[in-house]
Amino acid sequence: MDSLILLVEDEKKIRDMLSKHLRQEGFRVALAADGLEALQIWQDIKPDLIVLDLMLPGLSGWEVMKKIRQKNNTPIIVLTARVDEVDKLLGLELGADDYITKPFSPRELALRIKAVLRRSRPHEQVTNVSISNLSINPERLEALIGDTLLALTPTEFKILLLLAENPGQVFSRLHILERVFGDIYEGYERTIDTHISNLRHKIEATGKSEISIKTVYGIGYKLVAEE
């Protein structure tokens, strides 16, 4: 494993401890102590994943994530001491792929990084998927409505691919977590609602979609072609 991780944390003791553990796990690690430095390093090195503390001096983690998402879908794991649900949903809307609330163990962080990297990578067997005017290329991590490219986070892409590979099949939140995340994260089922909401918004914003994600109340979600 030689994935390059950008670790953004303003507390030196935590930054040094986490970077040491991640290197022991086989990752290459670049470090940033504030938001502006993080953006500069991100542009320079193009990391495979970013571990981003929200409470940074100067430019906050929220602002860093917003600026990155305007240009790129690099997977982002957010570190936060703020556990309230509103903060979690806001982070997902801005494009966070996972959360870890402080305090946490370096081992947990390494496991989360591996899980996010797993689901952000294309399937081993690459098969393009098409339903109505939606076309998905798993190798390029691209999804298009007609000729309009959807700007999706890695997690949104994986959810859309799962639904498109199984049109009409209803998936529960827990089933989506198992299939997309590779692990079951207790209490994370509700985050699927936010990812689905974001997907719907991006699909509808094209103004020409012939597919939609339907809610099957009390069960979950399915993707269907509009008649």
Residue 81 pLDDT: 79
Domain covering 129-225 assigned CATH 3.90.1170.50 in the classification: no
**Cα–Cα distance for residue pair 96/147, rounded to 1 Å:** 26
Where do you find CATH 1.10.10.10 in the chain?
Answer: 129-225
- Spatial CB neighbours of 175, under 8 Å, sequence gap ≥ 6: 220
Query: Please, what is the end-to-end C-alpha distance for the chain in angstroms?
Result: 46
| Position with higher pLDDT, 185 vs 9 | 9
Mean residue pLDDT of the chain comes to 85
Q: In the predicted model, is pLDDT for residue 51 greater than 80?
A: yes
| Position with higher pLDDT, 33 vs 174 | 33
Backbone angles phi, psi at 52, to 5 degrees: -125, 115
Residue 184 pLDDT: 46
Reported as a single tens digit per residue, the pLDDT across 138-151 is 888 899 999 999 99
Residue with tokens 């999706």: 152
**Cα–Cα distance for residue pair 199/202, rounded to 1 Å:** 5
Where do you find CATH 3.40.50.2300 in the chain?
Answer: 4-120
Q: Could you say which of 3.40.50.970, 3.40.1360.10, 3.40.50.2300, 3.40.50.720 is the CATH number of the domain covering 4-120?
A: 3.40.50.2300
Reported as a single tens digit per residue, the pLDDT across 66-105 is 899 888 888 999 888 766 655 665 666 677 888 888 888 8
SS3 state at 122 = coil
Q: In the predicted model, is pLDDT for residue 1 greater than 80?
A: no
Q: What is the mean pLDDT of residues 100-124?
A: 79
pTM here is 0.61
Reported as a single tens digit per residue, the pLDDT across 141-177 is 899 999 999 998 888 898 999 999 888 889 888 888 8
Count of C-beta atoms within a 10 Å radius of residue 166? 14
**Cα–Cα distance for residue pair 64/137, rounded to 1 Å:** 28
Q: How far, CA to CA in Å, does 1 sit from each of 21, 25, 41, 124?
A: 14, 8, 21, 17
